Amino acid sequence: MKHYHFDWSAVWSGQPLTWLLHGVGVTMLLTVLSCLLASLLAVILLALRFVPWRPAGWLAAGWIQLFRNTPLTVQMLFWYFGALPLLPEGLRNALANGPILLGLPLPSSEMLTAIWSLGLFSAAFLAEDLRAGVRAVPFGQWETVRSQGFSTWPALRYVILPQALAHAWPPMVNQYLNVLKNSPLAMSIAVAELMYQTNQIESFNFHGIEAYASASVLYLLIGLALSQLLQRLGPAPLHDKGVPHGR
């Protein structure tokens, strides 16, 4: 170790820099698309929990337990090596050759699988955060909207969910940050995100300390930026009168 020669230009110049910046872009795209998918699925799962037809609630609860209690790596490998080969051959070939929709290139099959895996996994946690937020809404709110003739879905959409979101937003931000922190697992199916590119730099010039330290700093900066953005975009917190809140 005492003979190790530190050279930050081995990471921040030339081809390694190109790889690093490409990895940052892929990581950010993977995180954003996975968060959007997870949010959509979480709202659907939450709605199923309140459908009067009981099997719908059982389905949502079972789905959440399945994805919350199995490792994300196992899920990602299952979708890529297990489920993907079951698709029709024509669709598999289109995904392998770079799919195009309305003249625009779509992400590769590896990227789509990673988005799908991260989205499903994170949706289970987001749905539970939202359900906790709904349960934090005073029961009198339900009685009020029902007395006004609202059915379950309009009541959730217009009255209960906005308040539940305000209650649940802090833990939901944590889950969105977990999507970013779980994104390196996508390198297990050859998605060229930041950690994949960092490994490539280390193999290219053996400057692992500089490469992994740089990746750590980049993840930190992306996480801080994402956290600030989500806090600004999120709903205003609902504070109880007379209860002090820490800064």
pLDDT above 70 (res 198) = yes
The DSSP bridge partners found for residue 100 are 105
How confident is the model at residue 243, as a pLDDT? 40
Which pLDDT value is given to residue 37?
Answer: 97
Instruction: Using DSSP, state whether 99 is helix, strand or coil.
Output: coil
Look at residue 244 in the predicted model and tell me its pLDDT.
41
Q: Which is nearest to 79 in space by CA: 191, 161, 160?
A: 191
Whether 93 shows a pLDDT value over 90: the answer reads: no
CA 54/CA 32 separation, integer angstroms: 33
- Encoded tokens for 43: 């709202």
Mean pLDDT across the stretch 185-208?
94
Positive or negative CA dihedral for 179, 183, 184, 189? positive
Distance CA 65, CA 92 (A): 30
Q: What is the 3-state secondary structure (H, E, C) of 139-205?
A: HHHHHHHHHCCCCHHHHHHHHHHHHHHHHHHHHHHHHHHHHHHHHHHHHHHCCCCHHHHHHHHHHHH
User: Mean pLDDT throughout 58-80?
Assistant: 95
pLDDT band per the 50, 70, 90 thresholds, residue 149: confident
For domain 24-233, say whether CATH 2.40.110.10 is its number. no
pLDDT at 246: 42
Helix (H/G/I), strand (E/B), else coil: 3: coil
pTM of the model: 0.87
Q: What is the pLDDT of residues 132-148, one digit of tens each?
A: 988 888 777 767 777 77
3-state SS, residue 47: helix
**pLDDT bucket at 245, cuts 50 / 70 / 90:** very low
pLDDT for res 106: 60
In angstroms and rounded to an integer, the radius of gyration of the C-alpha atoms of the chain is 22
Long-range contacts of 229-234 (CB under 8 A, 24+ apart): 230/173, 230/176, 231/173, 234/165, 234/169, 234/172, 234/173
CB 30 within 8 A of CB 114: yes
